[in-house]
A and B are shown apart, each in its own frame.
Chain A
Amino acid sequence: MIQQLIFILVALGALGYGAWQFGKIRRNILLGKDEKIGGHLGQRWRNVLLVAFGQQKMFTNWVAGVFHLFIYTAFLITVVELIEIFIDGIFGVHRFFAPSLGGVYTVIISFVEVLSLLAFVATFIFLARRNLLKLPRFHKAEMKGWPFLDANLILLFELLLIVSVFSMNGADTLLQQINPSHYHDTGNLAVSSWMGPMLFSGLKEGSLHIIERFGWWLHILMVFVFLNYLPKSKHLHIIIAFPNTYFARLTPRGQMENMPEVTRTVQSFFNPEAGEVAMDEEIPTFGVKDIFHLSWKNLLDAYTCTECGRCTASCPANLTGKKLSPRKIMMDIRDRMEEVGHKLDSKDSQYIREDLRGEGVSLSKENFSDGKSLFDHISPEELNACTTCNACVEACPVLINPMEPILKMRRYEILTESKGPADWMPMFSSIENGGSPWQMSIGRDQWIQDAK
């Protein structure tokens, strides 16, 4: 009875706090610009099935792909197993499905065990890759400190989760022979039927019972810990990767997003009768200065990023020692979202834009101003190094587009601030005045004469 009560309280607490945290993430994503993304359902679901469920793009690096698949499938199947854990926890029963499912139960739990064992091996390999082999992409400048610790914590949590499965099932296997009325026959489970006796044979019923309960509680507690750790961690991708692949852009890669406010102005040049652009409007911010100007999809991208660094490892600028790292761009956007989110939560009126402050005005995303922006995280030097080669876009296993915010921030630099690399200014004026990025004194058709 006490166990049931504790379980229900812990579960409610963990789920409630989790829901509250996920609410914050949703709120932060919606700080971005509204944008309708829909249609082409077939292609969208194809992306979800192939890229998210099917892990298609993970296999461009097949070693990482295979080991990641072990952990991923173990995670998926654990979700199924949780149904029983919840029923057992709430109603104080033991292995609720074992008697009714019989052989099917043996197969399902054996599946969980085999995958957990494979995931155990994979987790060790991933720990070694990060800490012993020191793959360069895991040790770039942006990975120092919390991101590095975060990655190791996740792997450590995973080990604990798997240990709990085997102590729970291993002890259970032995208890079934001692007290079959409570410990239902699960059949011969693939791993614990030999691992249980190997680890725990000779122990008394009392000790076995403690080990079994320890495993059960550790398992569910680690699940709750994970749930509440995710919103603070790069590991959030295990959930957000799914919607992110669904909402991924389906327009051609080579098509940059239009700026309708620019189109209106340009059209008025070509067709003056069509109507003047109203000049009394507030001058809009062209391009992106802060998260509020990014699309919510860009912000979803940032929360999806699990910092694997495949983008950065394929970036020509980063490979040749430039400061730009596409992964850092995504991490910076997330950091800025968190920063703004916390400030909004504080409801502190010092974050209300000065000219909008007054009696009864409360802080909101519309009047927010803390004197900072994405440019406090991302420097022009980084933005200007991008060759727009799309290698980062191609590399991302969860269809994040790190290039899009880079180019949107360039637009802010050039169009709003009128700043940018000094070499680009003469290029712009040559295009504008001579129709070519180079200033030329000969005609565009001179080559025809030369060829004759």
Chain B
Amino acid sequence: MAEWAAEGKQPEILFWVGCAGSYDDRAQKVTVALCKILDAVGMSFGVLGTEETCTGDPARRAGNDFLFQMMAFQNIQVLNGYEVKKIVTACPHCFNTLKNEYPEYGGHYEVIHHTQLLQQLINEGKLKLEGGGTFKGKKITYHDSCYLGRVNGVYEAPRSVLEALDAELVEMKRCRTNGLCCGAGGSQMFKEDEPGKQRINEARAEEALETGATIIAANCPFCLTMMTDGVKAKDKQEEVMVYDLVELIVQNKGL
């Protein structure tokens, strides 16, 4: 964004990469995939780079509102400094915090999740998928992330993207409003599970495997990690792959 600002220009959209998207090996691939798509459709975008920090979501959900608000004020100063209007993010937690929690502290932006952007691009004809491509007839199951689905009510955008891939979408027994969490939300990602009978991600992986799908599609870097680990725990990593939606599109387009 600093470079855009130096030239006195504004990109069409700010891509909020997020911590996982920046640092996590697996999530970085999603970040790069989304960049490829944005380039392919010719949508100008900027990133904050080193000026971006955690939105504060994990701190807030863990109970540390002090730290959350520190992060919020800091990020809002930066975003407002660049006069950002529109943000896309590949993380539903960042999406939720930017969209629903920052306005209270003076950060007002139009925030969309990357699956919503993909749906828009497909609907507008800017992003054309190859029918009968890589995924034709393949069974794909879709895992609703809590913060995109139940919390923000986005159920159809990701599904319509999957349909555009010409794949066979098979639903898990718990889906949409009833979807089962991967186990990472509420800062569980950053701690050991409380004592219990099973890990949540393994329970969810079981449900995904029951569908007989060979691909599990996700929309969240934490779900991606949890589902991958869950599939591994069931020793199915050779047969079943876990991908973010945008990665499936990149594969389809051969980008």
A interface with B by C-beta (< 8 Å): 60, 252-256, 258-259, 262-263, 265-267, 269-270, 286-287, 314, 316-317, 319-324, 381, 384-391, 393-394, 407, 410-415, 420-424, 427-428, 431-432, 435-438, 440, 442-448, 450-451
Contact = CB atoms under 8 A, between A and B. Distances in A.
Contacts of B70: 266, 269, 432
Interface stretch (B119-127, B163-171, B174-182): B174-182
- 7 tightest A-B CB contacts, nearest first: A321-B197, A435-B53, A410-B63, A388-B186, A389-B181, A321-B196, A414-B63
Contact of A428 (B35, B64, B69, B99): B64
B226 to A, nearest CB: 10
A385 B152 contact: no
Contacts of A447: 17, 21-23, 28, 31-32
B32 A387 contact: no
Given A256-B101, A321-B197, A438 B23 contact: yes
Contacts of B99: 252, 254
Contacts of A258: 104
A212 to B, nearest CB: 49
A413 B28 CA distance: 34
B80 interface: no
Q: Taking each of A286, A316, A443, which has the highest tally of chain B beta carbons within 10 Å of its own beta carbon?
A: A316
Interface in B39-60: 47, 49-50, 52-54, 56, 58-60
Given A323-B195, A388-B146, A438 B19 contact: yes
A170 B27 CA distance: 72
Interface in B90-112: 96-97, 99-101, 104-105
B5 interface: no
A277 to B, nearest CB: 12
The B contact surface, by secondary structure, is helix
B50 A387 contact: no
Contacts of B203: 316, 319-320
Given A262-B65, A424-B187, A443-B50, A255 B100 contact: yes
Interface-central residue, B23, B189, B192, by most chain A CB under 10 Å: B23
B69 A266 contact: yes
Given A252-B100, A444-B50, A394 B185 contact: no
Given A387-B188, A445-B49, A448-B49, A254 B195 contact: no
Contact of B195 (A322, A411, A428): A322
B183 to A, nearest CB: 6
A319 B198 CA distance: 9
9 contacts: A265-B66, A317-B200, A320-B203, A323-B195, A388-B61, A388-B146, A424-B64, A427-B62, A431-B54
Contact of A385 (B105, B150, B194): B194
B19 A388 contact: no
A390 B73 contact: no
Given A427-B187, A431-B59, A389 B65 contact: no
B71 interface: yes
A234 B48 CA distance: 52
Nearest to B186: A388
Contacts of A316: 180-181, 183, 200, 203-204
A314 B202 CA distance: 16
A52 B53 CA distance: 43
Nearest to A267: B73
A389 B185 contact: yes
A451 to B, nearest CB: 5
A423 B52 contact: no
A326 to B, nearest CB: 13
